[in-house]
A = this chain, B = another copy of it.
């Protein structure tokens, strides 16, 4: 009691922001990380540990990076070849950033948009990752109480990035599995009309996290037209621009606005980062690219709160201006991502587990709707707990991404080595065959009851029937939705 009172007292001394939980970490998305942290998988030390499939990290091309770095000692201010610049670089704190950094990033952004558009280095504003970029954009565009439309499901971090300290709201635009979670103007209109707050913009993620899908040209045009017509902003998070493979074509909003004659570009803003496409999340290189001069000006002033370390700017400037390397890196990265994606999805196909057909991002959107006891988020959470604590795979439940339909899970595949992926697939296989066995046992009620996978669960399952139905079986009559499987 005393402690509680002290804590309450303490909270009174702090801001409402600090006393509240708008940081959004009280979600399964982050809980899963904690489970992983407490008992993380290691092939030798903790072979029974949780495998982290909840982290959208690209670790597949570290060797290429390492090779380049060794071949380019001048890119670092900490080598005999580069140290003469140590002082100049370490002291540089202009929020415009190193000119060569902005130039190289602009060029890289062109490359990752298939050289179909030009980016002006003077519009490149840096920030502390896309995380910082989103907050900055929200501070620039909206007042506390205003809202941004966001199609669901969406990246859980948005709740923190755009809302927490800005006081801005996110207005979900409900997308549906029936059409592969496409964003339709009807759904946008509905959300816009029903929002009881001033809507200042639409935030899209293309390619999508968590879906792994890309938006096609017509859709993008309709979104530009919708926002232009309403006179609201369009923010495109294109952090996975080069993280595409297979048949997925990524089209940037930068390209589309060139095809719309009277487009009001003052309403168009792109958020980017090197965290995914280059696999460098630790370096915190975030970018705001706005077509609105005043936003460029103000966002740049705000960037003082999260500038990119000049040591890192210098390295990145050198690395990204080596065009041969960048070309080769992006090519090889796509190949490796495609291979890993195929490994996972072929594995799931073999087990009869559905997933949304897509070819971008660092994850797949897995369909376990058939495994839910009831079509509720409570059931989704129950199933998720089983997957994290028994199957020992930390995947992210769709509910944490504000998905409207329970039963979807995001599974990351690029943050581990091949062996770990094999282990993960093996665990899923064991899990599904246990489910199948349960199902068979149920049909021979007199047989001696075998120790089943739920037996040691300390979760309060009131009804495990749906788990025992064996819908995971490849021979199950209820196969994953063919419509979804046909999506590209």
From B79, B233, B311, give the contact of A312 (CB < 8 A): B311
A295 CB to nearest chain B CB (Å): 7
**A284 to B233 Cα, complex, angstroms:** 31
Asked if A282 and B295 make an inter-chain contact with CB atoms under 8 angstroms apart, the answer reads no
Quick check: B59 and A294 within 8 Å, CB to CB?
A: no
User: Is B13 touching A267 in the complex (CB atoms < 8 A)?
Assistant: yes
Q: Does A255 contact B (CB under 8 A)?
A: no
Find out whether the CB atom of B83 lies under 8 angstroms from the CB atom of A15: no
Complex contacts, A70 vs chain B, CB 8 Å: 80, 83
Binary per-residue interface labels of chain A (36-64) against chain B in the complex, 1 for a CB within 8 Å, 0 otherwise: 00000000000000000000010100100
Contacts of A164 in B (CB 8 A): 302
Q: In the complex, which residue of chain B has the Cβ closest to the Cβ of A306?
A: B306
A65 within 8 A of B: yes
Contact check: which of B14, B25, B141 meets A295 at CB < 8 Å?
B14
* B59 adjacent to A83 (CB under 8 Å): no
Residues of chain A in range 247-306 having any CB-CB distance to chain B below 8 Å: 266-267, 275, 279-284, 292, 294-295, 298, 301-302, 304-306
Considering the chains assembled together, what is the distance between the CA atoms of A302 and B93 in angstroms? Answer: 22
The interface bits of chain A over 153-176 (1 if a CB of B lies within 8 angstroms of the residue's CB, else 0) are 000000011001110000000000
Q: In this complex, which of A66, A89, A166 has the most chain B Cβ atoms within 10 angstroms of its Cβ?
A: A66
Q: Which of A231, A279, A298, A311 has the most CB of B within 10 A?
A: A311
Is A91 a contact partner of B14 (Cβ separation < 8 A)? no
Instruction: Indicate whether A143 sits within 8 Å of B15 (C-beta atoms), given known contacts A83-B70, A301-B23.
Output: yes
Contact between B266 and A13 (Cβ–Cβ < 8 Å)? yes
Q: Tell me if A139 counts as interface (CB < 8 A to partner B).
A: yes
User: A90 to B57, alpha carbons, bound, how many Å?
Assistant: 11
The SS class assigned to the A binding surface is helix
A129 at the binding interface (Cβ < 8 Å): yes
Give the nearest-CB partner of A275 in chain B: B93
Cα(A87)–Cα(B414), bound, Å? 13
Interface residues of A in 1-35 (CB under 8 A from B): 7, 10-11, 13-18, 23, 25
Please give the distance in Å from A156's CB to the nearest CB on chain B: 13
- Residues of B within 8 Å of A83, CB to CB, are 66, 69-70
Contacting pair A305 B131 (CB below 8 A): yes
- Complex Cα distance, B267 from A294, in Å, reads 39
Residues in B with CB closer than 8 Å to A147 are none
5 A-B pairs with CB atoms under 8 Å apart are A25-B301, A62-B86, A284-B308, A305-B306, A309-B309
Residues of A within 8 A of B (CB): 7, 10-11, 13-18, 23, 25, 57, 59, 62, 65-66, 69-70, 73, 75-80, 83-84, 86-87, 89-93, 128-129, 131-132, 135, 139-144, 146, 160-161, 164-166, 231, 233, 266-267, 275, 279-284, 292, 294-295, 298, 301-302, 304-312, 315
